[in-house]
A and B are shown apart, each in its own frame.
Chain A
């Protein structure tokens, strides 16, 4: 086996190795750099487009408004920080409600939408009419009920 052949084999092998890496990056291109075209994204990312029709493109919610219960009318401006709701003094929205737990629920932003998560409360958190059993995205104007308090997200 001549030196030249071995050199060529060596270089070809390294090239093939890198080609594999590049091909692998190609497979996951969409979630590395985000999808530019919407069509491939719809094919590749099943979870998110499924929710899009329900979420109108009015931009993101800016405020959390208490629409029912003793604290009715309270407004909290939404930032990037998660919001905790409950009877504990360190909660963002402190409820004085016998039906609420001390750390009842949490609202947090993820990928531009707000997610509500029940923190193991005694009486449960309700989004619309369904009980929140796992972190669930909240859309604008959807009522979240915690004990006697009803809150919703608004623009």
Chain B
């Protein structure tokens, strides 16, 4: 977009200045948090602060420049908000590494963040028009299913902590399900654009809800079978809930029919109930959810409530204002750097800090849904809606699990938890949102002359 174009189109509202200021603000907060951890731990600013802070700042500046070049109309808030949660995650992992330096590794996470930014930039550079994804609807569907099945293959798949969701590639293990969810959202969006009229219109009215025809239940049943399959074969409650929820939500966005939500809920609850009766690992989660403070369950290993209770104790001792960064005991919570990073954050930042973090997530989702509303074609509406929903749903599942609102399912807190695959996948997800918000906010091409059969457009 050259300067001439900007002059010809009078109402420019890229708000890039605001974006840069907010980005700098986010990086500054992360650096302050970093310093605060050091002061809390041993009374001095950590030596690596400038290195980490400037590293994060340089990464985000690079991401900003790519965004300004390749998606100039994109939403000004997405990148700063994501930067903040990602940076806070880095700080928390660094903090946990200081007191329990076994598995947590902040430098590793910084490396993955850098890789995430590279993926973000690549997605923006390669994918100039997100509607190209619509042509790959079924390819995306097969890729998604393939990625889901990958961990089940012998030799390739690995079982860690009871869940078979990892694939070993060289020295790394990656979680293909994280990428599968992206491919499947693209597939759902493309598929529903093509079929939504049938799913929305056909059917009859019963009492107060519009019921769809029995034969139109096919897609929702197939997705249900798949998510139950993931639950049973890979023992991955989180992904199962994530995928099915995403499909039902997108079905609702596409058809505006409440009955789909009710059908989806009924299917999932019945599936979860039956799974709870049949499989011990699912039943263990239910028991823990219903009565986590039971001493028998607390002592039980594996599948006890010790981890959940430690998380709750942590958040409890944090209280309203928290113990302060570097002054809590996150090392007492097992896996506090990944699944339970939210509880660890809650201990040190308190309810006030947690609410701020949740607000940041809410704002990211709001920007995504706003993009869906502003989008001009149905595919982008569905894709933006689905992508933002999946982010919100993921936060809900893990935060709900950690706070014992719903049964705990192992799922990463987006951008905060330590884990390369999730970070990469979520940065690609944000790149998709940025790409779509760029398309949605870009002013429509202006006709240079008023009338005539041949119209000349300025792009």
Contact = CB atoms under 8 A, between A and B. Distances in A.
Interface of A: 1, 5-7, 9-11, 13-14, 16-18, 20-21, 23-25, 27-28, 31-32, 42-47, 49-50, 84, 90, 103, 117, 119, 129-130, 134-135
Interface in B1-40: 9, 11-13, 15, 18, 22, 25-26, 29, 32-33, 36, 39-40
A24 B39 contact: no
Which 5 pairs show the lowest CB-CB distances between chains A and B?
A1-B43, A10-B324, A46-B443, A17-B356, A46-B11
Nearest to B12: A46
B11 A119 contact: no
Given A1-B43, A28-B367, A50-B443, A20 B353 contact: no
A20 B29 contact: yes
B16 to A, nearest CB: 12
A47 B322 contact: no
Contact of B353 (A14, A31, A42): A14
Contacts of B325: 10, 13
A46 to B, nearest CB: 4
Nearest to B80: A24
Contacts of B197: 103, 119
A49 B29 contact: no
Given A1-B43, A6-B40, A7-B324, A14 B11 contact: no
B25 A20 contact: yes
Interface in B167-215: 197, 201-202
B360 interface: yes
Contact of A43 (B13, B76, B453): B13
A135 B444 CA distance: 13
6 contacts: A16-B29, A16-B32, A21-B360, A28-B77, A47-B443, A90-B201
Contacts of A10: 36, 321-322, 324-325
A108 to B, nearest CB: 11
Interface in B291-344: 321-322, 324-325, 327
B77 A24 contact: yes
Given A1-B39, A47-B441, A103-B197, A23 B374 contact: no
Given A11-B321, A119-B197, A24 B363 contact: yes
B327 A6 contact: yes
Nearest to B350: A14
Nearest to B201: A90
Given A9-B324, A21-B360, A27-B22, 20 more contacts: A5-B39, A6-B40, A9-B40, A10-B36, A10-B322, A17-B352, A17-B356, A20-B22, A20-B25, A23-B25, A24-B81, A24-B360, A27-B15, A27-B18, A28-B370, A31-B370, A42-B11, A43-B11, A50-B11, A134-B377
A47 B360 CA distance: 26
Nearest to B364: A24
A135 B22 contact: no
Contact of B22 (A5, A24, A50): A24
Given A20-B29, A119-B197, A14 B321 contact: yes
A20 B88 CA distance: 13
A27 B16 CA distance: 11
Contacts of B39: 1, 5-6, 9
Given A1-B43, A14-B352, A90-B201, A49 B370 contact: no
B135 interface: no
B434 interface: no
Interface residues of B, number: 53
Contact of A27 (B77, B324, B370, B378): B77
Nearest to B370: A31
Instruction: Identify the interface centre among A10, A20, A45: most chain B CB within 10 Å of its CB.
Output: A10
B349 interface: yes
B450 to A, nearest CB: 11
B401 to A, nearest CB: 24
A7 B321 CA distance: 10
Nearest to B348: A10
B201 A46 contact: no
A56 B306 CA distance: 66
B128 interface: no
B122 interface: no
B376 interface: yes
A54 B453 CA distance: 18
Nearest to B320: A14
Nearest to B452: A129
B130 to A, nearest CB: 14
Contacts of A1: 39-40, 43
A45 B22 CA distance: 20
